[in-house]
Amino acid sequence: MRRLRNRLLWLSRRRRREAEIRAELEFHLEEETEEGRAAGLNETQARRAARLDLGNPAVLQEDIRDAWGWAWLEHAGQDVRYAGRLLRRRPAFSGAAILTLALGIGGATAVFSLYEPLFVRHLPVERPEEFVRLVEPGKPDLFREVFTLATHDWLRAASRTLSGVISTTRSSGGEITVDGQPRPANQQFVSDNYFDVLGVGAQRGRVFHEPGAGLSDPLEAVISADYWRTAYASSADAIGARFRDGNHEYTIVGVAQPGFRGVDIDVPTDIWVLVDQRLAPADEYRTRGRFVRVMGRLAPGATPAQAAAEVSAILGPSFEVADGAIGYSLRLRERLAQPLLLVAIVVGFVLLIACANLANLMLAGTKARERELSVRAAIGASRMRVVRQLVTEGLVLASAGSVLALGVAAWINGALLGFLPPEDAGALPNLRFALDAGVLGFAALLTCGTCLLFTVAPALRTTGRLDRTGLKARLGARRRGYSRPLGRTLLVGQVALCTALLIVAGVLVRTLANLRGQDAGYVEDGLLVADVQPPRSLDGDARKVLLEELRTRIEALPGVEVAAFSQLGQLDGAIVFSIGFPDRDIPEDELPTVFEQRISTGFLRAMGNPVIAGRDFTDDDTATASHVAIVNQSFARQFFPGEDSLGRRFYRAAGRFGVEGVRGSPDGEPMTIVGLVHDSKWVDLRQAPEPMYYRPYRQMGGTEEVRFAIRTSDAASVVAGEIRGLAQAIDARFVVENVVPFREIVDDTLVIERITAHVSTAFGALALLIAAVGLYGVLAYNVAQRRPEIGVRIAIGARPRMIEWMFLRESLALLGVGVLLGLPVAIAITRFVASMLYGLGPQDPASIATALIVLTAATVAASYLPARRAATVDPIQALRQE
Amino acid sequence: MKRARNARVELLQGTLDLLILRTLLFGPSHGYAIAKHIRRTSEDLLQVETGSLYPALHRLEAQGWIAASWATSEKGKRAKYYRLTAEGRRQLDAARAKWEAFSNAVGLVLKPAEGERS
């Protein structure tokens, strides 16, 4: 302790201690001189003897300083200052290096900042690593993590390995009414021990505790800190405030601790409500409805394996447990896993290319400093010392780059999140860029890693060839310092990585283009959509009348060509039913399933998918007229192959769980097919169209919401106002939302594709630029080095063309080798993400060809200037240099 | 100034520390005086090189075994005086014990056995 204190004190009084050392040695010198004089020597001799005894004062002072143990720090400080001076003298190089490093490190950090909250970050609860989730892997996606309340009750009562078992519904967006005004809020129903088991407390009021309050009046709710801030401006009035949800009245009893947003990453929860308060213990829905997730905290000493075994024993063999520390994320985790990985690979490549570039430039740059480094070696610097100096230069560059990188990362993170459609936007608070320990740590680690990558090898190379015995003549020292094999390897590596990147970018861009450009059975341009809800209090028939009224009025607007509506919007899904045929005898469990869609008159025209045979629905197809249907080509092909489907009949059998999980009712009456349309895509752009039939909206039960499709050349904002006005005029309780161009709906389904295409293109272009600049730099340097040689060649008769070609040939050779190495890497990556591609295979020739052309063009462009300069070398000048 | 070259003995770093600490047991002194004292007391056999002395002094100071302060010498000049600290005293005892054990051990090995020719 004392030792450290002394050393720290020493460090702090730098100037004074320098003076002290000098004074101390001076004193010693004087004493010895005096002694010499006392022994009989004269002043000069005595002084000389004393000096000889003292030895080299500089070395002595250095040794004394070393004794305090801070030598390494002082050296580091010197190195940093020196590096700073050096880099300031080469602003173009330094600037370019810092910029490329910033982009590379920033990109990687941005990817990390998205990856970490989704896949790594633990929930902000007490000891999150102790949590496990209940899962049933055999079930389809939707039900894998969702169970009945009875399951939760059972497990909670019987489990020994789990000290606490909680249940939660999916946090989902909804609407509550506060003081008569509707307000969006994400709600979650939870078990009474939710907060206790998680270890989350209240910052105001109280949270739920076990046992629950039972059916109090009004019911109790706990709100999140974020919601408290946005809805109540963090005021104390929030406690005791009331709101309505449907038919239930709630009062807020507390605000959860800051930073806690529930166990869902996708949708941060605003309001927590006890599930027991909505479902009494005896309610049969507890055993029938699967709608809660079940999580448990491991008891002290219990392992996940034990919990898994116990769960299987209690609930059944199909049940297992999974890690619960990272919370639930149904959509985002699955959707973003592969794209994030792809982006990570892309960014990683860019970073490697940048490092290779910098390494090459450092190699070339140190050649010019060979003299200086030789001097250092000559006066006693060890090889390690010089290497440390060079590495420090790299570190200064990398650090400057990493500071910028944080800003770049925030920007890229924001740009990527900007692609997310509104429905996923709720997750933003969890995903937004934040300068937390994880991000900073990652950036720092990456900085050191990249610095080492691009400084150590060149530094060792350069210092290994240093001439320590003196400064040899320049003749013959031409090729030293810049190691051609290493430089070439780096270039080849860069080209290989660029090849891979460009090919990957190519297939992703083509995928997006294919998805967008395909004939999906509708015409995108000039199409607007809107979500319309007729007044809820009306019954089905009354709603149908109002909707029809609205439709006619909208169609009557100037500028509107066609107005129509469908039950679900195009690309939003369709409902699945089984059908049967009156003239065919098919057993009930083998009935085929098809999509059904209820549409108004004019819908097919509005979507740009006109009837190709037979007729469209008309106003005559009322509820009392005979039941008709229009089918698509897939339907006709599957059920009436080779025949005319018009006039044929089929009926709808019992409904099954469809895409939206809606149960349909049996409908016995057969429908007659009156029209045929082209296939169109209803679920998503990748899936092939399914057999489907359309029914007139008037002939079916009314629904709560419809999606209007309006063909117009006017802008959405204009039309939105007009529609709302019309709706209000008909009935003030109409709700009109989300009036957007249909293109936006399409874009929202293509989020992943857009992200990956844009990112890979942007970074691919960046990588190409970096590599091209690197190639140019190295070539220019090479030409300068070989000027004497070129001069000789020209002097003995070589033509300029030949010189040009000589250098160009080298570049093309590097390109060739690089491409050969990069192709397998590219194919490996595209194979790995083959599931993300559409309309092309992993070895898409068009993408490969394009990438090669672009690379060749870039190589030639980068090599052109240096090659030309080589050709215009004046032989006499060059030889004089010799 | 003559030097007894033939009797120069090489000092190990640890030994130099021991000598310095021992010297300071008599009282505080500056670097030059310490060197002179060691030389005199060892009858000119141990000549501490300045190049080793001062780094050793500073190292000991860094470790907290000796403490330094500036004072005026008997001749009226300002000099840096070192003195032993409590910790230094303890280290001196320990080092001395180790040295004696070491020299005993070497002596035992070197001592001629009964009947062996020396």
In chain A, residues with a C-beta closer than 8 Å to the C-beta of B62 are 3, 6-7, 10, 67-69
CB within 8 Å: A27 and B79: yes
CB within 8 Å: B64 and A3: yes
Model confidence band, residue A858 (pLDDT cutoffs 50, 70, 90): very high
Tokens 């810092």, residue located: A98
Overall domain count for chain B: 1
List A residues 664-723 in contact with B (Cβ-Cβ < 8 A): none
- Quick one: residue A521, left, alpha or beta (phi over 0 = left, psi -120 to 50 = alpha)? left
Out of A701, A733, A765, pick the residue that ends a domain: A733
Q: Go through A839-848 and write b for each residue having 16 or more CB atoms within 10 A of its CB, e for each that does not.
A: ebebebeebb
Return the closest-CA partner of residue A674 out of A611, A726, A596.
A611
CB within 8 Å: A66 and B55: yes
Among chain B residues, CA nearest to A58: B51
Q: Which residues contact A508 (CB under 8 A, 6 or more apart)?
A: A342, A753, A756, A757, A760, A761, A836, A837
Q: What CATH number did the domain enclosing B27 receive?
A: 1.10.10.10
Q: Does residue B13 form part of some domain?
A: yes
Does the pLDDT value for residue A338 go beyond 70? yes
Q: Does residue A745 form part of some domain?
A: no
In chain A, residues with a C-beta closer than 8 Å to the C-beta of B82 are none
CB within 8 Å: A64 and B55: yes
The pLDDT, as a whole number, for residue B75 is 80
Contact A704, A680 (CB under 8 A): no
ipTM > 0.85 for the complex: no
Q: Does residue A581 form part of some domain?
A: yes
Alpha carbon of A391: minimum distance to chain B alpha carbons (Å):
30
Q: Does residue A522 form part of some domain?
A: no
- Quick one: residue A275, left, alpha or beta (phi over 0 = left, psi -120 to 50 = alpha)? alpha
Q: Does residue B66 form part of some domain?
A: yes
Q: Does residue B30 form part of some domain?
A: yes
pLDDT in tens, A518-545: 888 888 888 999 988 888 778 888 888 8
CB within 8 Å: B62 and A7: yes
CB within 8 Å: B77 and A27: yes
Give the B-side interface with A, CB within 8 Å: 1, 30-32, 49-51, 54-56, 58-59, 61-64, 70, 73, 77-80, 87
Q: Does residue B113 form part of some domain?
A: no
Out of A273, A306, A325, pick the residue that ends a domain: A325
Q: Which residues contact A674 (CB under 8 A, 6 or more apart)?
A: A614, A615, A628, A629, A630, A646, A647
Alpha carbon of B1: minimum distance to chain A alpha carbons (Å):
7
List A residues 67-96 in contact with B (Cβ-Cβ < 8 A): 67-69
In chain A, residues with a C-beta closer than 8 Å to the C-beta of B70 are 20
Option in B1, B49, B54 nearest A64 (CB): B54
In chain A, residues with a C-beta closer than 8 Å to the C-beta of B79 are 24, 27
Among chain A residues, CA nearest to B81: A24
Q: Does residue A112 form part of some domain?
A: no
Return the closest-CA partner of residue A362 out of A242, A448, A482.
A482
pLDDT in tens, A791-823: 888 888 888 888 888 888 888 998 999 999 999
Model confidence band, residue A854 (pLDDT cutoffs 50, 70, 90): very high
| Shared-domain flag, residues A722 and A793 | no
Q: How far is CA A823 from CA A508, A556, A809, A829, in A?
A: 16, 59, 21, 10
Contact A687, A627 (CB under 8 A): no
Contact B67, B61 (CB under 8 A): yes
| Shared-domain flag, residues A773 and A820 | yes
pLDDT in tens, A341-353: 888 899 899 888 9
pLDDT in tens, A229-262: 988 888 888 888 899 887 788 999 999 999 898 8
Option in A20, A24, A49 nearest B1 (CB): A49
CB within 8 Å: B80 and A20: yes
| Shared-domain flag, residues A681 and A706 | yes
| Shared-domain flag, residues A672 and A772 | no
Question: What does DSSP assign to residue A191?
Answer: -
| Shared-domain flag, residues A706 and A852 | no
CB within 8 Å: A49 and B87: no
pLDDT in tens, A752-780: 888 889 989 999 998 998 888 888 877 88
Q: Establish, for the pair of chains A and B, how many residue pairs have beta carbons separated by less than 8 Å.
A: 69
pLDDT in tens, B13-67: 678 888 999 999 989 999 899 999 988 888 888 888 888 889 899 989 888 899 9
Q: Does residue B112 form part of some domain?
A: no
Q: Does residue A123 form part of some domain?
A: no
Model confidence band, residue A551 (pLDDT cutoffs 50, 70, 90): very high
pTM given for the model: 0.75
List A residues 13-42 in contact with B (Cβ-Cβ < 8 A): 20, 23-25, 27-28, 30-32, 35-36, 39
Return the closest-CA partner of residue A98 out of A376, A339, A405, A381.
A405
CB within 8 Å: A54 and B50: yes
Q: Note down the domain range covering A35.
A: 2-69
Q: Go through A587-608 and write b for each residue having 16 or more CB atoms within 10 A of its CB, e for each that does not.
A: eeeebbebbbbbbbbbbbbbbb
Model confidence band, residue A637 (pLDDT cutoffs 50, 70, 90): very high
Q: Does residue A305 form part of some domain?
A: yes
Q: Which residues contact A56 (CB under 8 A, 6 or more apart)?
A: none
CB within 8 Å: B50 and A53: yes
| Shared-domain flag, residues A312 and A374 | no
The pLDDT, as a whole number, for residue A257 is 92
| Shared-domain flag, residues A487 and A581 | no
- Average pLDDT of the residues in A857-867: 89
Q: Does residue B115 form part of some domain?
A: no
Q: Does A283 touch chain B (CB under 8 A)?
A: no
Overall domain count for chain A: 4
Among chain B residues, CA nearest to A23: B79
- Collapsing DSSP to helix, strand or coil, A561 comes out as strand
Strand order in the sheet with B66-72: B29-30, B78-84, B66-72
Q: Does A10 touch chain B (CB under 8 A)?
A: yes
Residues facing A817 on adjacent strands: none
The pLDDT, as a whole number, for residue B115 is 57
Task: Please provide the average confidence, as pLDDT, over all residues in chain B.
Answer: 82
Q: Does residue A529 form part of some domain?
A: no
Out of A299, A325, A351, pick the residue that ends a domain: A325
Alpha carbon of A76: minimum distance to chain B alpha carbons (Å):
21
Among chain A residues, CA nearest to B56: A67
- Average pLDDT of the residues in A22-29: 89
Alpha carbon of B111: minimum distance to chain A alpha carbons (Å):
38
- Average pLDDT of the residues in A838-860: 91
Residues facing A675 on adjacent strands: A614, A630
In chain A, residues with a C-beta closer than 8 Å to the C-beta of B49 are 55
Model confidence band, residue A213 (pLDDT cutoffs 50, 70, 90): low
Mutation site for A-interface testing, chosen from B49, B50, B77, B78 by largest number of A Cβ within 10 Å: B50
The pLDDT, as a whole number, for residue B5 is 42
Among chain B residues, CA nearest to A49: B1
The pLDDT, as a whole number, for residue A667 is 55
Can you read off the two tokens belonging to residue A236?
């104390």
Q: Does residue B116 form part of some domain?
A: no
Among chain B residues, CA nearest to A39: B1
pLDDT in tens, A96-134: 888 888 888 898 999 899 888 888 888 899 899 999 999
CB within 8 Å: B62 and A68: yes
Does the pLDDT value for residue A660 go beyond 50? no
Task: Please provide the average confidence, as pLDDT, over all residues in chain A.
Answer: 84
Beta strands of A101-161 (E only): which ranges? 131-135, 147-148
The pLDDT, as a whole number, for residue A271 is 93
| Shared-domain flag, residues A343 and A386 | yes
Q: Does A7 touch chain B (CB under 8 A)?
A: yes
Alpha carbon of A468: minimum distance to chain B alpha carbons (Å):
26
- Quick one: residue A226, left, alpha or beta (phi over 0 = left, psi -120 to 50 = alpha)? alpha
CB within 8 Å: B32 and A64: no
Measured between alpha carbons, how far is A661 from A566 in angstroms, rounded to an integer? Answer: 18
The pLDDT, as a whole number, for residue B117 is 56
% of chain A at pLDDT higher than 70 = 94
- Among A103-112, A141-150, A165-174, A241-250, the range of highest mean pLDDT: A103-112
Of the listed ranges A182-186, A232-236, A602-606, B17-21, the one predicted with least confidence:
A182-186
| Shared-domain flag, residues A147 and A246 | yes
In chain B, residues with a C-beta closer than 8 Å to the C-beta of A2 are 63-64, 87
Q: Note down the domain range covering B84.
A: 5-107
* DSSP code string of A668-717: EEEEEEEEEE----SS-SSSPPPPEEEEEGGGS---S-EEEEEEESS-HH
List A residues 296-325 in contact with B (Cβ-Cβ < 8 A): none
Mutation site for B-interface testing, chosen from A12, A29, A31 by largest number of B Cβ within 10 Å: A31
